[in-house]
Amino acid sequence: MDLREIITAIEDLFYSFVSWIALYPKTVLSTFFCPGKAQQYVTEEWQKPQVERFRSYLNPFIFWLLSVILLMWSVSGSEESEPLTLEYLTFLVVLYAILPVIFASLMLTAQRIPLSSDQFRRPLYIQMLVFAVVQTLLALELAVVNPLLAWGDNTTDLLKSLAILAVFLAWFVVLGAIFLWLPIAEMRIFLKELAQPWTKVVGWVLLGFLLVIPAAMMISALEAELDLFSRMLQLGG
Question: pTM for the whole thing?
Answer: 0.81
The domains of the chain are located at: 3-236
Q: Which long-range contacts (CB under 8 A, 24 or more apart) does 56-62 make?
A: 57/23, 57/26, 57/27, 57/30, 58/20, 58/23, 58/24, 58/26, 58/27, 60/125, 60/126, 60/128, 60/129, 60/132, 61/125, 61/128, 62/20
Residue 58: pLDDT band with limits 50, 70, 90: very high
pLDDT (mean) for 216-228: 64
135-166 residue pLDDT tens: 998 888 777 766 655 555 556 666 666 666 66
Residue 211: pLDDT band with limits 50, 70, 90: confident
Q: Does residue 232 or residue 69 have the better pLDDT? A: 69
108-132 residue pLDDT tens: 999 999 888 889 999 999 999 999 9
Distance between CA atoms of residues 86 and 91, nearest Å: 9
Q: What is the pLDDT of residue 181?
A: 92
Q: What is the pLDDT of residue 107?
A: 94
Distance between CA atoms of residues 59 and 48, nearest Å: 14
User: Measuring CA to CA, which residue among 7, 39, 64 is closest to residue 126?
Assistant: 39
1-46 residue pLDDT tens: 577 778 888 888 888 889 999 999 999 999 999 998 889 999 999 9
